Amino acid sequence: MSNSKLVQYTRFVPACSKMHNKKNIKITPHHMAGDLSLETCGKVLIDSNCSTNYAIDSEGRIGLYVDEGDRSWASDNKKNDGQAVTIEVANDELGGDWHVSDQALNALVDLCVDICIRNGIDELVYTGDKSGNLTRHNMFTATSCPGPYLQSKFPWIAEQVNQRLNIKSSYSKDLIGDYKVQAVGGLNLRAGASTNNSVIETLDNGSTVWFDGYHIGSWYHVKTRSGKTGYCVKDYLKKEPDKMSEHFSDVPKKAWYAKSVDYCKENGLMSGVGGGKFAPNRPMTRAEAAAVFAKLHSMIEEGKNK
């Protein structure tokens, strides 16, 4: 089973139940009852012997802690968590309504859409009780989680996700990337894919946004540098060329493995296949693997002798 590619931080925690053939048909958002970073969240999960599949911080960053194919220990209900993807969401205000930032809320919608598409969930249904597939922690035990503010947003979350799911067939992987705004008077970032939707922000001419591949007609779903998400008309967006590694012309700088490739090159572990290329998808031969291990061993021994 795959995990979300929206993840920006990964720290697998031991408190979970390994499962075979788990079928995810539900999503259960929780609140952290704190404004934790993804890194701190991982430490807290380990110390408290509990877990979640994902977490979202107040900046909208997404972390992975338990594989989607395994049951997290999150909702005090084995049946729910055995068929749900659980998500902890940070609070940018402590106490009261336990407010959640717009960046975190928008990231939650993005993640829910991604979960639904990959797991074949055609519609996210919030009924206010256990019969729906958008469930809450306080449906299963006496707790204030997910907090008054986030709980009030559950109908809106389902609405936003389902609006996006209607564009499931309108996904263009080849178009994903950075886009530059080309509109002299600025470009409106809207809450939905029409001019009837409210304006979230007016983007400056020349500013850059990230297009995630989802679109409704001529409306692209984008994310700004500040973490806000919404829709823009594609006619005013121009795709930026992918920036490549300083060492290899076939390794994009934004690739998840780019820093590791650069490290290997700079430390003499790998030099690529020639012609300024690394061929990241080419299988490694046994001889190449042996050479890397030998170099690593030499580096370790040199470190011991210093």
pLDDT of res. 305:
57
- Over 80: is that where the pLDDT of 284 sits? yes
Q: Average pLDDT, whole number, for the chain?
A: 90
Tokens matching residue 86? 């659980």
Share of residues in the chain with pLDDT > 70 (%): 97
Tally of CB atoms within 10 A around 200: 17
d(CA 14, CA 102): 31
Compare 18 and 175 and report the one with higher pLDDT.
Answer: 18
Q: Is the pTM of this model over 0.85?
A: no
Asked whether 155 and 136 are in contact (CB, 8 A), the reply is: no
Write out pLDDT tens, residues 215-274.
887 889 898 988 888 889 999 999 988 767 778 888 887 777 888 888 888 888 898 888
Contacts of 43 by beta carbon, 8 Å cutoff, 6+ apart: none
- What is the per-residue pLDDT across 57-78, written as a single tens digit (0 to 9) for each? 999 999 999 999 999 999 999 9
